[in-house]
Structure 1
Amino acid sequence: MASRKNLIGVLLIIFLLIQPGMADAGGDEGKLRVVTTITILEDIVKEVGGDRVEVTSIVKGLENPHTYAPSPSDVLALSRADMLVKMGVTGLEPWVNSLLVSAENEGLLVVNATKGIRMRYDDTIGCENPHVWMDPENMKRMVETIKGGLIAADPANRAYYEVNAERYLEELDELEAEIVSKTAAYRGTKVVEVHPAFMYLLDRIGFERVGTIERREGGGVSAQHVALIEDTIKKEDVKLIIDMPQLSSPIVDQIAADTGVAVVELTPLLGPFGTDSYIEMIRYDIDMIVGTLEENDGSGEETPKQPGSGIIAVLIGIFIAWYLVGRR
């Protein structure tokens, strides 16, 4: 009996000694540890990786990835990660390379989610636009790339990742068809953005962007540019000004007040307005666009009169008067 108690005591001591190491190896319960740069990528990893991954995003929903400054906790998370998923486009994550150096994680697998996706030139800002994920077609390519990264890092669960990716791709197909259908009546609508985050989404639904208020990240907006934007809004019959919670500028309210154009606040990142997934975020943005246009459709405008309607009304009036007099 004494020897059994001693054995139990030894086993308990061994368990207590190795428990911290077990928790530290391969993440929670052996899951693949993945860090992403933005929440959009975190959502893809969750959809494809399911319960085989433990994922966290460096930049949260209300933070600006263009100007984000990594914290010591970001360095620590990346130093313990098995895989980093970044957008890999110019100008969006200027801090990521220095973060990789600081993390000193030689075994880290780095995945560029936008591999094979070509950024398009944006006339409103005079350079390539990095917000490629706002088009569901590009999102599908990113799903395939991230699926490949997960399989490379964890080949034993290849079939699991492939099934999840296929299901998610079908959901994105449905989303794309839905948003095109919802906005069909407003194709050709002209808009102005506060920040060029929605170009790919607006192009997908057939809207026309005629100006961007903030042309350079954190560069400020001159009085001359504000005047140009207001003139463009009036000349082009712009219907919407698109704002976003990641940027807060009183200039938007000023321009809206000067031009009388409605402002709609959309988000290009998860988190704001209760958007916990990419699909929820795109649906929210589209519903806000359509709802605002419907609310302002025809406001302040008189109903067009049919040609000759005034003459017809006069003749009807004369007939009624003649009829009433005749009955007397």
Structure 2
Amino acid sequence: MSLLFLLVSTRIISVSIPPLASMVSYLAGEQYKVVSILNQTQNPHTYEIRPSDLKTAITSDLHIEVGDHLEGWGKRICEKRKNCLRIYDELESRNIKVSNPHIWLDLTLIPECARIIEKRLEKTFPQDSLLFRKNLNQFLLNFDSLKTELKDLFKNYSGTKVLLYHPSWNNFVEPLGLKVAGALVHHGEKEVSAGDFAKWVQRIKSENIRLIIAEKNMPSQICENLAKESGTCYVLLNPLFGGDFLDGLREQAVFIKKGLECRK
């Protein structure tokens, strides 16, 4: 009887991507089961949603996703799921400027994203409102400490130029003092043309672009080849990191710092 009660009372929150699931877990607490639709190696832009994914999202107590065009399949879930939170859309409804859909990597918007999630948790599970507020306050304190730590980590690299393979990291690296020279590909684009490749080789050399930031879930030899041709360095980051949310941000920052240090 007690086992049956446990199964019935388990509260499930489905989330589109691992880092967002990590943030939700932080805010919801251990008594909630948080399930990510994608894993850390998949690409939310190109992922083909499966019937089992739809079932997970539709049968959960709450579904949360980034929104905008980031998950091309996201609207299909929200059309079938009444309790669905699209964070990007909620930010815009509050007249908060969003320049990049990769909001979980935006060091300026992360606190507001956390507040939006916490409000929806309270609305869905009002019996745990006090717990959610407590977890949110702790999250915001820890995030402020992390931002201070990361700014100190990059204090000697202010104005240093980096090149992105895909424009996920603009609002992560720029608040830390780095300058984004551009992105090799954008949403919906394929690989870099031979002409663009040659232009980037020249730009990297002439503008002293220190690092190329590639992504593990977008496999490409372009960044490695471009680094070899131009004499700069490249680093592989994972925008869909799992584990503790703040630790994941810290780890990506450390990888960037090590990449900047590869060229003395």
Does 1:75 find its partner at 2:33?
A: no
User: TM-score, structure 2 length as denominator?
Assistant: 0.91
Q: What's the CA shift string for 1:14-48, capped at 9, x where partnerless?
A: x59x94xx5663xxxx2322111111221111111
1:240-295 per-residue CA deviation (whole Å, 9 max, x = no partner) reads 01111111111112111111101111221114xxxx12212221121122223233
2:176 aligned residue = 205
Structure 1 equivalent of residue 85 of structure 2:
111
Establish whether residue 280 from structure 1 lines up as the match of residue 259 from structure 2.
no
Q: How many residues align?
A: 259
Cα separation, partners in 2 of 1:100 and 1:111, compared to 1, 3 Å: closer
Query: In structure 2, what is the Cα distance between the partners aligned to 1:241 and 1:162?
Result: 39
1:129-154 residue CA offsets vs partner (Å, 9 max, x unmatched): 31122123311111111100110001
Computing the radius of gyration from Cα coordinates, the structure with the larger value is 1
How does 1:1-328 map onto structure 2 within 5 Å? 19=4, 22=5, 25=8, 30-89=9-68, 91-101=69-79, 104-105=80-81, 108-114=82-88, 115-116=90-91, 117-120=96-99, 129-271=100-242, 276-297=243-264
Task: Write the deviation string for residues 282-319 of structure 1: whole angstroms up to 9, x where unpaired.
Answer: 2112112222323322xxxxxxxxxxxxxxxxxxxxxx
Name the CA shift for 1:56/1:69 in 2 (closer, same or farther; >3 Å). same
Amino acid at match of 2:36: S
State the alpha-carbon separation in 2 of the partners of residues 163 and 31 from structure 1.
21
In the alignment, structure 2 segments of 5+ residues that lack a partner are none
**C-alpha separation in 2, matches of 1:211 and 1:112:** 28
Given that 1:269 and 1:281 are in contact with CA atoms closer than 8 Å, whether structure 2 keeps it comes out as no
Q: Secondary structure at the match of 1:163?
A: helix
The 8 Å contact of residues 233 and 262 in structure 2, kept in 1 or not, is answered as: no
Q: Secondary structure at the match of 1:149?
A: helix
Displacement after TM superposition at 1:226 (Å):
1.1
State the 4+ residue runs in structure 1 displaced beyond 4 angstroms: none
Structure 1 residue 189, shift from structure 2 partner: 0.5
Instruction: Answer 1 or 2: higher relative contact order, Cα 8 Å, separation at least 6.
Output: 2
Gaps of 5+ in 1: 1-14, 121-128, 298-328
Deviation at 1:88, TM superposition (A): 1.8
AA of the residue aligned to 2:50: S
Contact 2:11–2:33 (CA<8 Å) still a contact in 1?
A: yes
Kept in 2, the 8 Å contact 1:211–1:229? The answer is no
SS of match in other structure, 2:261: helix
